Amino acid sequence: MERIRLRLANNSYDVLIGSGILSQMGSRLKENGFSGSLVIITNPIVNRHYGASLQRNLTEEGFSVTTLLVPDGEVQKSLHTAGKLYQQLANSYAERTTPILALGGGVIGDLAGFVAATYMRGIPLVQIPTTLLAQVDSSIGGKVAVDHEQLKNEIGAFYQPRLVITDIDTLKTLDSKTFRDGLAEVIKYGVIRDKKFFNYLETNLAKIIAFDETVLEKVVYWSVEIKARVVEKDEKDLGLRSILNFGHTIGHAIETVSNFGIVHAEAVAIGMIIAARISAQLGTFDRDELARLENLIKAAGLPTKIPNLEAKQLIQAMQHDKKVRQGRLRLVLPKRLGEVFIIDQVELPLVEQILVEGNETA
């Protein structure tokens, strides 16, 4: 098992990463000062795979466990579902010291985290991420949120967990598409921060996809380490943390204009490529490195071309996203593999040209 300490001004915590560590949950919680009652928030799919053994382990270790089930799906990340959970917490006599264990992917993590942040002005939160995306991204850094009408992830808080327990074994039950969704963010970490990691991903991609446990544990560890070090420097997202948005400005526009027919990971994969091409066109990114990025994304089974969406509409969506100021776009662009820079004066005609060229019909 590996341990990564996230050092923050007031709320430092450990991320424990290993295979099979779900079965040590009770003792890990005790080491971190927990005892008595706890509440697991999960969904029926994750519960079917991991709920019973987790509950057994916790009960054996002397915890009194309540499990609250939320149906599967992004629509559950809502104030309505949060409201139901508050009621259920009150019915189960949850107190201010009762921890919530968020067992699941990013949806459960964000929703249960939001509930933990707000119920009685904050009760302890333990993240137990079970998708690759949740393990490398959403469980780290303390952003919790629900969606509300057109506001995606915009009703929320910075609320750090007390502990994150990441069991690589849980990834075995993911379908290949959900697994692949996490790979887009993994590749992002290599580009923004660490060329050695990028090289490692190139060399080991086949093993990652074939679920080589040793390789996968290293990939999750490395990704968490990169995100943790960025979050430590900028917990409240006022500066450095925005480099984590590499691929996301264009990606969000693609998600929006496609009416979410293109999922987040696919959109981010395309967004990274468009950003890299803009940088190459500006002369700030090497074309050989651009080719390496495209090849890695392709090898991961992620798309590299925009599926027939109007460039003008994409730009309009970015304008809505408040990323455009005085006809210029703010973007995170790669300088080289392992380093990005932020530029807020990319001219829109250039962006439009690259978006047109990046269309699959071009």
Ligand X SMILES: NC(=O)c1ccc[n+]([C@@H]2O[C@H](COP(=O)([O-])OP(=O)(O)OC[C@H]3O[C@@H](n4cnc5c(N)ncnc54)[C@H](O)[C@@H]3O)[C@@H](O)[C@H]2O)c1
- Contact residues toward ligand X (CB under 6 A) are 43, 45-46, 49, 72, 74, 77, 104-108, 110, 130-131, 133-134, 137-138, 141, 143, 153, 170, 173-174, 178, 181
Nearest to 131 by CA among 114, 110, 147, 115: 110
Sign of CA dihedral 120, 151, 76, 34: negative
Cβ 284 to ligand X shortest distance, Å: 27
Residue 326 contacts by C-beta under 8 Å, 6 or more apart in sequence? Answer: none
Whichever of 61 and 237 has its CB closer to ligand X, that residue is 237
Q: Are 248 and 317 in contact (CB under 8 A)?
A: no
Q: Are 155 and 6 in contact (CB under 8 A)?
A: no
Cβ 336 to ligand X shortest distance, Å: 25
CA distances from 142 to 100, 123, 172, 303 (A): 14, 14, 26, 29
Whichever of 75 and 210 has its CB closer to ligand X, that residue is 75
Q: Are 259 and 320 in contact (CB under 8 A)?
A: no
Q: Are 265 and 171 in contact (CB under 8 A)?
A: no
Cβ 354 to ligand X shortest distance, Å: 25
Whichever of 154 and 360 has its CB closer to ligand X, that residue is 154
Q: How far apart are CA 37 and CA 108, in angstroms?
A: 20
Cβ 199 to ligand X shortest distance, Å: 25
Whichever of 51 and 334 has its CB closer to ligand X, that residue is 51
Whichever of 151 and 282 has its CB closer to ligand X, that residue is 151
Cβ 91 to ligand X shortest distance, Å: 24
Cβ 338 to ligand X shortest distance, Å: 22
Whichever of 104 and 334 has its CB closer to ligand X, that residue is 104
CA atoms within 13 A on the CB side of 171: 31
Taking 3-state DSSP, the helix, strand and coil percentages for the chain, each rounded to the nearest 5, stand at: 55, 20, 25
Cβ 11 to ligand X shortest distance, Å: 15
Cβ 185 to ligand X shortest distance, Å: 7
Whichever of 130 and 256 has its CB closer to ligand X, that residue is 130
- Cross-strand pairs, 67: 40
Whichever of 78 and 281 has its CB closer to ligand X, that residue is 78
Burial of 349 (0-12, 13-18, 19+ CB in 10 A): exposed
Q: How far apart are CA 167 and CA 129, in angstroms?
A: 8
DSSP-derived secondary structure for 88-141: HHHHTT--TTPPEEEEESHHHHHHHHHHHHHGGG---EEEEE-SHHIIIIITSS
Q: How far apart are CA 22 and CA 128, in angstroms?
A: 8
Whichever of 181 and 217 has its CB closer to ligand X, that residue is 181
> Closest CB to ligand X belongs to which residue?
106
Sign of CA dihedral 258, 259, 263, 268: positive
Cβ 135 to ligand X shortest distance, Å: 9
